[in-house]
């Protein structure tokens, strides 16, 4: 049995409310299919299908990753026509975020977990199947204080993706951050 996994920054309930308030109806104005706010996250590494037995070893190894505290400032909208993603993200991302990704990549390499090494572009997907970015007012900036990350299982359904947090790593507690 395998699980489709990814590693991400996951907003707590207060930050999620702030993201909803700032992005408002922007996703609806783009057309496409809006992503439910409970699915908002920033992917750091997509692992794809992994054997269930690997999750325990992966969790133990990720537990040793030191998370450098940093702030990710989300401050603009953009659209990737291919694959039709409308997103909210930073103009630039801090070197400490890159450091965290490098540390995670080292763990994955040590466990021989092969991932797509394309350039990371931190963002929160707001809508899918969008072809053009409409004229939108500039969003207010959202400062996301980062001190942890999560390992997430993804299940694709007819309604879209459903995410289940397996574990949180770093400065936060080990409970589901959606319950904060």
pLDDT over 50 (residue 173): no
| Chain mean pLDDT for the chain | 88
Q: What is the dihedral of CA 27, 30, 31, 32, to 10 degrees?
A: -70
Q: Residue 140 — very low, low, confident or very high, per pLDDT cuts 50/70/90?
A: very high
Q: Give the Å distances, CA to CA, from 87 to 29, 65, 115, 173.
A: 13, 28, 22, 28
Quote the CA–CA distance of 161 and 41 in Å, as a whole number. Answer: 13
The helix/strand count (H/E) of the chain reads as 4, 10
User: 26-63 pLDDT, tens per residue?
Assistant: 888 888 889 999 999 999 999 988 887 788 899 999 99
- SS3 call for 44: strand
Report all structural domains of the chain as residue ranges with CATH numbers, in order of start.
Answer: 2-171 (3.90.1140.10)
pLDDT confidence of residue 171: 64
């Amino acid at each position: 049995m395998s699980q489709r996994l990814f590693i991400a920054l996951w907003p707590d309930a207060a930050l999620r409310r702030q993201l909803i308030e700032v992005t408002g109806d922007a996703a609806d104005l783009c057309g496409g299919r809006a992503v439910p706010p409970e699915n908002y996250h920033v992917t750091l590494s997509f692992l794809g299908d992994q054997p269930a037995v690997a999750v325990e070893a992966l969790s133990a190894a990720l537990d040793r990753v030191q998370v450098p505290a940093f702030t990710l400032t989300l401050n603009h909208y953009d659209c990737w026509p291919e694959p039709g993603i409308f997103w909210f993200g930073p103009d630039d991302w801090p070197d400490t975020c890159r450091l965290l990704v490098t540390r995670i990549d080292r763990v994955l390499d040590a466990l021989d977990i092969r991932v797509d090494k394309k350039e990371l572009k931190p963002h929160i997907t707001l809508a899918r199947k969008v072809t053009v970015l409409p004229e939108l007012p500039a969003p207010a900036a959202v400062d996301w204080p980062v001190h942890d990350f999560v390992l997430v299982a993804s299940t694709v359904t007819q309604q879209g993706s459903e995410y289940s947090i397996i574990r949180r790593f770093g400065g936060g507690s080990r409970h589901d951050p959606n319950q904060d």
